[in-house]
Amino acid sequence: MTVDPAAPATPIPAMQRVRGHAHVSFARQGETTRLKELGQSGSAKIRLPKTHGTPPVAVFLNTAGGLTGGDRIEFDATAGPGAHAVLTTQAAERVYRSIDGAAEVASALRAEEDAVLEWLPQETILFDRAALQRSLTVDLAPGARLLAIESLVLGREAMGEDVHALGFRDRWRIRREGRLVFADEARIQGDATDILSGSATAAGSRAFATLVDCREGVSGLLDRAREAMSPLLGERLRGGVSALPDLLVFRFLADSGQDLRAGLVSFLETWRGARLPRTWYC
């Protein structure tokens, strides 16, 4: 068969992309917090393991088994007045090489008056040539508390992986009664290993986490926070904490995802005064 070089190339079919949206809300009934609403579509799912004598836990998961360019996942959660709920993920999220565009993960939380909402997802692992846009938007009513963490690991150290091409953007916006109280923006574009090797960036660390505790009067606990962090910090795990009005911001850097996870588990157990959701120990 003769192929005409002037003939138009066969168009590449559009690849299937992940779409998922899951939302959950909790309401206080008497002395307990109970599920109020749950919805899920696409690859975004929610599981509600049994808890005994502790706040309810909603476990978000992506049944697609990872994300790549063009995928989009949305998670929404609300804690009603006086409710206390914990949100986590089934496992670490993985973001693979992108052929076209960025994967998007958007989380929107709301804690109503005197509610407590804990956003405790496990880490996100970024592979070489990954592209991810991640956002966390939170609305807090008077008296509400938010404890939220987001963590990131570059490649799998045990597999000898380095991340030299990366497009990453992380966006936080926290508002109380409509007023912006915390805005944070992180971007990595290019050779991540090289960018993060400098002393002014991450000094070679490949795992990072930001933790925020937002509640009335928490800035007065700055010394206690530093005391809780101090025993965990060393050559393989570094960190610090700073205070804003009614807000503490913790930063952690580690040489590996394993070191970061171990440090976070120890610190969060101490700071919360309780064990983490069971998925963190699997």
Q: Structural domain of residue 193, as residue ranges?
A: 26-281
* 114-160 pLDDT, tens digit each: 999 999 999 999 999 999 999 999 999 999 999 999 999 998 776 66
Residue 78: closest CA among 107, 47, 110, 101? 110
Q: Is residue 187 situated within a structural domain?
A: yes
* 168-223 pLDDT, tens digit each: 999 999 999 999 999 999 999 999 989 888 887 887 788 999 999 999 999 999 99
Tell me how far apart the alpha carbons of residues 100 and 97 are, in angstroms, rounded to a whole number: 9
Q: Is residue 221 situated within a structural domain?
A: yes
How many domains would you assign to the chain? 1
* 110-127 pLDDT, tens digit each: 999 999 999 999 999 999
Q: Is residue 204 situated within a structural domain?
A: yes
Residue whose token pair is 């991640």 = 134
Tell me how far apart the alpha carbons of residues 172 and 182 are, in angstroms, rounded to a whole number: 7
Instruction: Tell me: pLDDT of 166 over 70.
Output: yes
CB within 8 Å of 149: residues ≥ 6 apart? 119, 120, 121, 209, 210, 211, 212, 264, 268
Q: Is residue 194 situated within a structural domain?
A: yes
Assessment of whether the complete model's pTM goes beyond 0.85 = yes
Q: Is residue 2 situated within a structural domain?
A: no
Residue 99: closest CA among 141, 143, 131? 131
Q: Is residue 87 situated within a structural domain?
A: yes
Phi, psi of 264 (to 5 degrees): -65, -40
Q: Is residue 21 situated within a structural domain?
A: no
Q: Is residue 244 situated within a structural domain?
A: yes
Task: Please tell me the predicted confidence (pLDDT) of residue 156.
Answer: 77
Q: Band the pLDDT of 3: cuts 50, 70, 90.
A: very low
Tell me how far apart the alpha carbons of residues 92 and 260 are, in angstroms, rounded to a whole number: 13
